[in-house]
């Protein structure tokens, strides 16, 4: 019960660095970032302009780390940031930002705005201005082990089902396995096919893999709320698990933020490089495909399109693999406008989907995705992020669009010949 | 003397056509429209020649006599001489035969006889330092003389840059405390004919105007006749097209200089100098500085001597930058100091870090 | 030592450059339109007008070009008055090229006059009167 | 003070002071900004060609996919006035002479009529950009005193320079002096306003490119 403005400001003083200083000094208020943000384009409300979401951070930067700002503060020319302001900004920093990073790639002066939002959330959470929804998710992840409250027994039960359905073993805590597979609780609860798909793919590729009993949950609500201390606790579980099992590679599931948290933030959170590699499942599939370890039969014949999860593509650098994989199993794959690097967010990333009071705004922002889909009119929508999938399904339902959403890994797995059939051949 | 001026001229063998030609040329030089030349000729021809010629008193102060030299070398000597013939030059130290007390008597006689009507021409600046002791005539400081003679003048012509603006004597650091005529005399019409020296025809043009219309011609904000100082050297320069094309002489002996390209980069002050050199030219229309391959010095502008150097282009700094490198060092030092303060602040914030627990998310 | 032995040559800013276009500022052709306009005005209202060539930013080459382009017409008059003046009609009647020189032969002013007959060439009644008096004198001398 | 003394002052002491404050500010601000440093990225880098800070410095000069149509005025107006400013500042012969005098560097200039035309186009583009800032809700919402002030600071030197060359409103000498004075004001305020993006934009692009280039994303 110690969150306070002072604490928030102190944390911000810690995280403000040269890039942030450079960014704030470069901004010319051109407003182009607004054009890149679906919360602005779909609402037309200028307060959703990305750089504006950082206004308190800018003031703290100027008042703490510039001479003129300090003088201004000393002589009362610039007023200090207040708790009420931060409370007001909560909606802008969390509800209306999915950390999709689109603003960062359009800013003409090169400001990495999402980098700053991520850092601003450190201060916002320390000042007690994080949304209840994300706080709850963090709480459950830390205390129970998963944002949706999934515990190991539930995972074990799921494993049993899958083993029975697929006739393939699901290894748990297998030391020395090549791959340690992580899950997101969405997959455990909503999309159990994912685990079966992994089993089939790994079996066909002939790779050793395992789940980890102490680290099965990949999502990191600590990173979404923007608190490094809590994010570190969650990453540490995975690092400890991976090092205990001495795996070569940890596979991040179809979950965008889990990938960012582990792949790009993890080593920085624990303060040392990893002893293992971190790959997104799509990256692994891409490697298998290149190595000829991914053999499929048959094609999907309906009209398919692919929604790029922001954290995988624009923020993660995995852009081509999903397309190659789509083409391996789909005959009628069409791209949405601005797909790939410039893809539009589903509207629920970065923890936004956990914010109940943000739902109306989220659905408003979904109109962007709707227009993208309307442009290509697909029969089904493929993606590679369980969170995107849930948000997309909600949005499609709201707008009464009859487009089923499927996970890419599962779709690939469906085209892998049954192990029995393989034996028979 | 009887009849109009034209009759006076005719008696001296100057034909009407010669006079018309002179007026056309004078109008051209005064940058007046060609029709004005005819009007001027008609006005002057019809003007009754004064029964007594207007008296002119010429006072030299801190000067080099260059202005007088220039005027006496007017390039149409006969005609311009005639303009001077139309006046009575009652006091001009350099030109007059009289000297000493005789000269002073002539001065005072002229002042007395023409009180309130004579034209006063001044060349040279007036030193104020040491109570004016730097320049005295007949035991009187220039300041005293000027005040005394100006009192009865109808109008004053400040001849040359020294009289008009202080000129070279006033150049930094101005040891004699030199000032211009208009700095001292405030209650008389004053016309400035600046230049170092001024163009002779400007002088005769102003006199012609005074004789024709009995008043001084239209002046600009710096008290100069607009007719001659209405446009810059640059705008009337025959090399202007080269400026526009970006063709510049870079040194005085390069290809550009030989091709007659623009002298801007060699320090020509043409763009900021208002004078008629480019149209009237010097030495009987022979040439003028730019035509001779040298940039304009800007001698008809105030403080031309202190305008940053004759060979420095206008867009160059007038003085070398003195504080630039010191400022850069000071800025870097300030920056480093702030850096240390910032880093201290940041590490203080870091060491005050308390690891956040779940409870810490709540207020 | 003869004067021309001094190794200094006058280089005309315009003539120095090679080619026909050398030294032209491009200001001269525009003048032709102005002259045409003045000629139209002369026909319409009988109003004479003049262009002061010294008042314009023309290079020597520009003047040469203009002189050459306008050409030499049928009438040319020379006036001896404190230096020579030449008034010559161009191939366009009514367009006169007027050059005034001083006693030393230097050009002091130069105009293009658009007029039926240059004012300067006409004799003034007063001068005619003077001439008449002179004639009378001559006649009286005869008797 | 007459116009000539005014001109000589802005060319002399005025310029000295302005350049001094400019250099002081630039060094101070650059140290102040970049000395804050950043943490080393410990995550394993993904190396992709074209993804680096240096690439982004150049790449970010072009509009990303789909953006030109979203805000054509910002892009076309922005390009026009930035390129226009560069031409007017760096390719007008008298300016080159100043740069040569201050730095020893020199290059050929463009005909003054062309520069004149560019100045007019630049002024027009700046007016369009200003109107856009007033009309567009986002720009108006973001705008502070600093935005109007810096626009004026940038507009005036071009306007007064052009007016001086065209002999408009005031005599050339006065206008030239005012022109130089406005440039000096620009220099004085540049390090302390958003105009400092002329320096930091490159650092910002580099950081953005480097941070994302580490992930193998060519931003």
pLDDT band at residue A423 using 50, 70 and 90 as cut-offs? very low
Q: Is C80 exposed, middle or buried (0-12, 13-18, 19+ CB in 10 A)?
A: exposed
Final residue belonging to a domain, choices A243, A263, A290: A290
Query: What pLDDT does residue A425 have?
Result: 38
The CATH number of whichever domain residue C33 belongs to comes to: 3.30.1370.140
Partner residue facing B308 (CB), from D12, D102, D172: D12
Number of domains in chain D: 1
Partner residue facing D94 (CB), from B264, B329, B343: B264
Query: What pLDDT does residue A424 have?
Result: 39
B85: in domain:
yes
C1: in domain:
no
Residue B35: give the domain boundaries.
Answer: 1-50
Pick among A60, A64, A77, A109 to test the D interface (most D CBs inside 10 A): A109
pLDDT greater than 90 at residue B293: yes
User: Which partners does chain A have (≥3 C-beta pairs < 8 Å)?
Assistant: B, D
Q: What is the pLDDT of residues A332-375, one digit of tens each?
A: 999 999 999 999 999 999 999 999 999 999 999 999 999 999 99
Residue A102 CA, distance from chain mean position: 14
Contacts of D48 in chain A (CB under 8 A): 317
Q: What is the pLDDT of residues B322-363, one digit of tens each?
A: 898 899 999 999 999 999 999 999 999 999 888 888 888 887
Structure tokens at B70: 């220039």
Q: Does residue A215 sit in the same domain as residue A267?
A: yes
Q: Between β-strands C107-114 and C49-52, what pairing exists: parallel, antiparallel or unpaired?
A: antiparallel
Strand partners, C84: C80
Partner residue facing D23 (CB), from B232, B235, B324: B324
Contacts of B338 in chain A (CB under 8 A): 66-67
Cβ neighbours of D108 (radius 10 Å): 8
Strand partners, B48: B4
Put simply, the chain B residues between 126 and 155 with a CB less than 8 A from any chain C CB are: none
Q: Do chains A and C touch (3 or more CB pairs under 8 A)?
A: no
Partner residue facing B246 (CB), from D11, D35, D110: D110
B204: in domain:
yes
The CATH number of whichever domain residue A345 belongs to comes to: 3.40.50
Contacts of D94 in chain B (CB under 8 A): 264, 313-315
B240: nearest CA partner in chain D: D112
Query: What pLDDT does residue B90 have?
Result: 80
Q: Does residue B87 sit in the same domain as residue B19?
A: no
Number of domains in chain B: 3
Say if CB B59 and CB B143 are below 8 A apart.
no
Residue A405: give the domain boundaries.
Answer: 292-414
Final residue belonging to a domain, choices B206, B229, B252: B229
Interface membership of B287 toward C (CB under 8 Å)? no
Contacts of B307 in chain D (CB under 8 A): 4, 7-8
> Maximum CA pair distance of chain A?
84
Is D108–B264 a contact, with Cβ atoms under 8 angstroms apart? no
Range list of H helices, A245-385: 256-259, 266-270, 281-291, 321-329, 359-376
Rounded percentage of chain B residues whose pLDDT exceeds 90: 42
Say if CB C94 and CB C39 are below 8 A apart.
yes
Say if CB C95 and CB C51 are below 8 A apart.
no
Read off the pLDDT of each residue in B187-205 and give the average, rounded to a whole number.
Answer: 88
**What's the mean per-residue pLDDT of chain A?**
92
User: Quick one: which of A221, A10, B335, A27 has its CA closest to D35?
Assistant: B335
pLDDT greater than 60 at residue B79: no
Is D36–B315 a contact, with Cβ atoms under 8 angstroms apart? no
Residue B130 DSSP code: G
Q: What is the pLDDT of residues C61-106, one digit of tens each?
A: 888 999 999 999 999 999 988 889 999 999 999 999 999 988 778 7
Structure tokens at C34: 């102005």
Q: Does residue A195 sit in the same domain as residue A337?
A: no
D75: in domain:
yes
Say if CB D186 and CB D153 are below 8 A apart.
yes
Round to whole Å and give the CA distance between A314 and B330: 43
C118: in domain:
yes
Q: What is the pLDDT of residues A25-47, one digit of tens each?
A: 999 999 999 999 999 999 999 99
C5: in domain:
no
Say if CB A394 and CB A356 are below 8 A apart.
no
Final residue belonging to a domain, choices B229, B261, B285: B229
Say if CB C8 and CB C54 are below 8 A apart.
no
Number of domains in chain A: 3
pLDDT band at residue B53 using 50, 70 and 90 as cut-offs? low
Residue A146 CA, distance from chain mean position: 15
User: Which partners does chain B have (≥3 C-beta pairs < 8 Å)?
Assistant: A, C, D
Round to whole Å and give the CA distance between B170 and B191: 19
Range list of H helices, chain B: 5-11, 16-29, 34-46, 66-71, 77-85, 100-113, 142-151, 160-165, 181-184, 200-213, 226-229, 233-236, 240-245, 255-258, 277-280, 324-351
Final residue belonging to a domain, choices B274, B290, B306: B306
A123: in domain:
yes
Put simply, the chain B residues between 183 and 222 with a CB less than 8 A from any chain C CB are: none
B259: nearest CA partner in chain C: C13
pLDDT greater than 90 at residue B283: no
A120: in domain:
yes
Put simply, the chain B residues between 336 and 355 with a CB less than 8 A from any chain A CB are: 338, 342, 345-346, 349-350, 352-355
Query: What pLDDT does residue B180 have?
Result: 95
ipTM of predicted assembly, 2 dp: 0.80
pLDDT greater than 90 at residue B7: no
pLDDT band at residue A210 using 50, 70 and 90 as cut-offs? very high
Round to whole Å and give the CA distance between D72 and C46: 58
pLDDT greater than 90 at residue B289: yes
Contacts of A142 in chain B (CB under 8 A): 358
Structure tokens at A235: 């990453």
Contacts of A25 in chain B (CB under 8 A): none
Read off the pLDDT of each residue in A73-101 and give the average, rounded to a whole number.
Answer: 93
Q: How close is the nearest chain B Cα to the Cα of C118, in Å?
A: 12
Radius of gyration of chain A (CA): 22
Say if CB D202 and CB A301 are below 8 A apart.
no
Q: Backbone phi, then psi, for B184, in 5-degree steps? A: -105, -50
Query: What pLDDT does residue B32 have?
Result: 67
**Alpha-carbon distance values, D115 to B13, B152, B348 (Å):** 56, 55, 54
Read off the pLDDT of each residue in A395-418 and give the average, rounded to a whole number.
Answer: 93
Query: What pLDDT does residue B30 have?
Result: 67
pLDDT greater than 50 at residue C15: no
B275: in domain:
yes
Say if CB B279 and CB B236 are below 8 A apart.
yes
Read off the pLDDT of each residue in B30-47 and give the average, rounded to a whole number.
Answer: 69
Residue C56: give the domain boundaries.
Answer: 11-142
Round to whole Å and give the CA distance between A191 and A408: 12
Q: How far apart are the first and last CA of chain A?
A: 64
User: Quick one: which of A28, A12, A116, A132 has its CA closest to A65?
Assistant: A12
Is A229–B334 a contact, with Cβ atoms under 8 angstroms apart? no
The CB-side HSE value for B62 (13 A sphere, CA atoms) comes to 31
Read off the pLDDT of each residue in B103-128 and give the average, rounded to a whole number.
Answer: 90
C4: in domain:
no
Round to whole Å and give the CA distance between C141 and B103: 51
Q: Quick one: residue D137, left, alpha or beta (phi over 0 = left, psi -120 to 50 = alpha)?
A: alpha
Q: For tokens 């930091």, what's the residue?
A: D200
User: Quick one: which of B222, B262, B208, B219 has its CA closest to B240?
Assistant: B262
Q: Does residue B131 sit in the same domain as residue B271?
A: no
Round to whole Å and give the CA distance between D79 and C12: 44
Round to whole Å and give the CA distance between B93 and A195: 117
Interface membership of B285 toward C (CB under 8 Å)? yes
A421: in domain:
no
Q: Does residue B24 sit in the same domain as residue B114?
A: no
Is A13–B345 a contact, with Cβ atoms under 8 angstroms apart? yes
Residue A207 DSSP code: -
């Amino acid at each position: 019960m110690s969150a306070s403005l002072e604490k928030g400001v102190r944390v911000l003083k810690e995280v403000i660095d040269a890039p942030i200083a450079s960014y704030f000094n470069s901004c010319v208020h051109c407003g182009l970032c607004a054009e890149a943000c679906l919360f602005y384009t779909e609402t037309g409300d200028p307060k959703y302009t990305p750089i504006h979401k950082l206004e308190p951070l800018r003031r703290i930067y100027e008042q703490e780390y510039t001479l003129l700002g300090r003088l201004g503060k000393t002589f009362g020319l610039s007023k200090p940031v207040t708790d009420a302001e931060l409370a007001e900004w909560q909606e802008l920093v969390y509800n209306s930002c999915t950390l999709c990073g689109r603003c960062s790639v359009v800013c003409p002066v090169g400001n990495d705005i999402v980098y700053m939002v991520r850092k601003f959330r450190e201060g916002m959470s320390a000042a007690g201005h994080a949304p209840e929804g994300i706080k709850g998710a963090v709480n459950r992840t830390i205390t129970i082990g998963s944002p949706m409250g999934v515990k190991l027994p539930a995972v074990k039960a799921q494993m049993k089902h899958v083993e029975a359905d697929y006739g393939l073993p699901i290894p748990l805590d297998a030391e020395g396995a090549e791959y340690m597979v992580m899950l997101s609780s969405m997959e455990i609860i909503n999309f159990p096919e994912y685990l079966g798909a992994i089993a089939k793919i790994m079996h066909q590729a002939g790779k050793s893999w395992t789940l980890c009993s102490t680290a099965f949950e990949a999502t990191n609500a600590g990173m979404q709320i923007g608190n490094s201390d809590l994010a570190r606790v969650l990453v540490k579980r995975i690092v400890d698990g991976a090092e205990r099992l001495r795996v070569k590679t940890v596979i991040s599931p179809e979950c965008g933020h889990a990938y960012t948290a582990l792949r790009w933030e993890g080593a920085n959170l624990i303060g040392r490089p990893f002893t293992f590699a971190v790959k997104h499942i799509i990256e692994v599939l891409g490697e298998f495909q290149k190595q000829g370890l991914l053999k499929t039969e048959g094609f999907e014949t309906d009209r398919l399109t692919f929604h790029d999860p922001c954290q995988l593509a624009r923020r993660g650098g995995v852009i081509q693999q999903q397309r190659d994989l789509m083409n391996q199993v789909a005959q009628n794959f069409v791209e949405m406008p601005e797909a790939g690097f410039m893809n539009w967010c589903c509207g629920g990333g970065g923890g936004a989907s956990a914010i109940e009071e943000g739902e109306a705004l989220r659905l408003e922002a979904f109109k962007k995705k709707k227009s993208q889909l309307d442009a290509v009119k697909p029969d089904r929508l493929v993606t590679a992020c369980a969170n995107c999938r849930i948000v997309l399904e909600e949005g499609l339902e709201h707008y009464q669009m009859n487009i089923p959403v499927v996970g890419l890994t599962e779709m690939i797995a469906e085209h892998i010949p049954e192990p029995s059939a393989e034996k028979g051949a | 003397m009887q009849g109009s001026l034209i009759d006076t001229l005719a008696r001296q063998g100057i034909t009407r056509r010669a006079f018309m030609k002179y007026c056309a040329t004078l109008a051209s030089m005064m940058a007046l429209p060609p029709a004005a030349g005819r009007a001027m000729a008609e006005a002057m021809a019809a003007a009754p020649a004064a029964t007594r010629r207007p008296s002119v008193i010429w006072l030299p102060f801190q000067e080099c006599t260059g202005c007088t030299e220039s005027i006496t070398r007017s390039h149409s000597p006969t005609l311009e001489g005639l303009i001077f013939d139309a006046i009575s030059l009652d006091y001009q130290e350099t030109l007059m035969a009289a000297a000493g007390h005789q000269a002073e008597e002539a001065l005072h006689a002229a002042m007395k006889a023409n009180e309130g009507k004579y034209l006063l021409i001044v060349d040279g600046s007036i030193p104020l330092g040491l109570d004016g002791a730097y320049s005295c005539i007949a035991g009187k400081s220039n300041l005293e003389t000027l005040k005394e003679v100006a009192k009865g003048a109808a109008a004053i012509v400040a001849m040359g840059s020294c009289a008009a603006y202080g000129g070279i004597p006033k150049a930094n650091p101005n040891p004699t405390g030199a000032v211009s005529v208009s700095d001292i005399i405030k209650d008389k019409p004053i016309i400035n004919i600046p230049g170092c020296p001024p163009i002779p025809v400007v002088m005769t043009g102003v006199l012609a105007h005074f004789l024709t219309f009995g008043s001084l011609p239209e002046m600009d904000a710096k008290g100069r006749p607009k007719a001659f100082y209405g446009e810059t050297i640059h705008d009337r320069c025959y090399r202007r097209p080269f400026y526009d094309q970006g063709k510049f002489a870079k040194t005085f002996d390069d290809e550009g200089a030989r091709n007659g390209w623009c002298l801007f980069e060699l320090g020509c002050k043409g763009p900021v100098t208002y004078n008629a050199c480019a149209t009237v030219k010097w030495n009987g229309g022979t040439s003028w500085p730019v035509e001779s391959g040298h940039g304009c010095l800007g001698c008809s502008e105030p403080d031309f001597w202190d305008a940053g150097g004759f060979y420095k282009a206008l867009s160059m700094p007038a003085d070398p930058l003195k504080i630039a490198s010191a400022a850069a060092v000071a800025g870097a030092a300030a920056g480093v100091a702030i850096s240390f303060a910032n880093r201290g602040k940041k590490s203080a914030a870091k060491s005050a870090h308390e690891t956040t627990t779940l409870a810490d998310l709540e207020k | 030592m003869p004067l021309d032995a001094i190794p200094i040559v006058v280089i005309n800013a315009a003539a120095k450059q090679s080619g026909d276009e050398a030294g032209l500022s491009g200001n001269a052709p525009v003048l032709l339109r102005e002259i045409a306009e003045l000629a139209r005005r002369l026909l319409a209202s009988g109003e004479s007008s003049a262009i002061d060539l010294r008042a314009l930013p023309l290079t020597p080459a520009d003047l040469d070009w203009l002189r050459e382009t306008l050409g030499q017409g049928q009438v040319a008059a020379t006036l001896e008055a404190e230096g020579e003046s030449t008034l010559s009609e161009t191939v366009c009647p009514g367009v006169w090229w007027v050059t005034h020189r001083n006693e030393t032969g230097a050009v002091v002013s130069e105009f293009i006059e658009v007029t039926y007959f240059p004012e300067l060439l006409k004799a003034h009644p007063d001068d005619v009167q003077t001439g008449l008096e002179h004639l009378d004198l001559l006649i009286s001398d005869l008797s | 003070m007459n116009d000539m003394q005014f001109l000589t002052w802005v060319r002399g002491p005025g310029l000295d002071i302005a350049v001094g404050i400019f250099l002081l500010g630039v060094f101070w601000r650059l140290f102040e900004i970049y000395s804050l440093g950043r943490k080393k990225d410990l995550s394993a880098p993904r190396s992709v060609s074209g993804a680096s800070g240096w690439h982004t410095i150049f790449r970010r000069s072009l509009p990303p996919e789909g953006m030109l149509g979203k805000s054509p005025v910002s892009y076309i107006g922005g390009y026009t006035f930035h390129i226009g400013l560069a031409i007017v500042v760096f390719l007008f012969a008298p300016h080159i002479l100043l740069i040569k005098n201050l730095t020893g560097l020199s290059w050929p200039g463009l005909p003054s009529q062309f520069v004149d035309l560019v100045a007019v186009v630049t002024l027009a583009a700046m007016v369009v950009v200003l109107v856009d800032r007033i009309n567009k809700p986002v720009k108006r919402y973001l705008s502070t005193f600093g935005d109007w002030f810096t626009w004026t600071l940038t507009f005036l030197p071009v306007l007064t320079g052009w007016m001086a060359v065209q002999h408009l409103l005031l005599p050339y000498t006065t206008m030239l002096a005012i022109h130089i004075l406005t440039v000096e004001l620009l220099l004085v305020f540049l390090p302390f306003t958003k105009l400092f993006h002329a320096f930091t934009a490159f650092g910002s692009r580099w950081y953005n490119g480097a941070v994302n280039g580490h992930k193998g994303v060519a931003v």
